[in-house]
Amino acid sequence: MNIALNLPIKTHWLAMIESGRKREEYRGAGNRQANRLWRRWSNRGIPAATQAAIFRAGYNPTSRAVAVRLDNILLRGNEWKDRRHEWGEPGGPRAYFAILLGGVLASGTYRDVKEKVLSMEGGAE
């Protein structure tokens, strides 16, 4: 399994992703990691089943983290749908990425989660 994204996130959102309540994550169009992933997926059609994202609450190797399977990444404009702005969707005139999340693969400390994801099907970062 490939680790396609490795992003810091607030603890509140991390808990919601871990419980399965939050199925999308948002990043501005200027986010380097999200931009790189979107270009790879749109140009080459990389299969989502082999891609994972790790969200972590801090940069310490012992920080709490959760790994999820990536379903898709979409580039959006300034549209507002439903009540997504309450879930962290950015508003205003700028473009942003909507990262659609699949099932949780692992949770625990960042170090442990990263090892578990990399050991799935012999993937590499």
Question: Per residue in 57-90, pLDDT tens?
Answer: 989 889 999 999 988 888 777 554 544 555 555 5
- Those residues of the chain that have pLDDT short of 70 are 42-49, 78-94, 122-125
pLDDT given at position 72 = 83
pLDDT given at position 29 = 79
What pTM was estimated for this model as a whole?
0.79
pLDDT given at position 104 = 95
- Give the span between the Cα atoms of 47 and 58, in whole angstroms: 29
pLDDT given at position 83 = 44
Largest CA distance in the chain: 42
Domain limits for position 102: 2-120
- Give the span between the Cα atoms of 117 and 62, in whole angstroms: 16
Q: How remote is the C-alpha of 16 from its chain's centroid?
A: 13
Number of domains, the chain: 1
CATH of the domain at 43: 2.30.130
Helix (H, G, I), strand (E, B) or coil at 57: coil
Residue 30 lies in a domain: yes
Residue 81 lies in a domain: yes
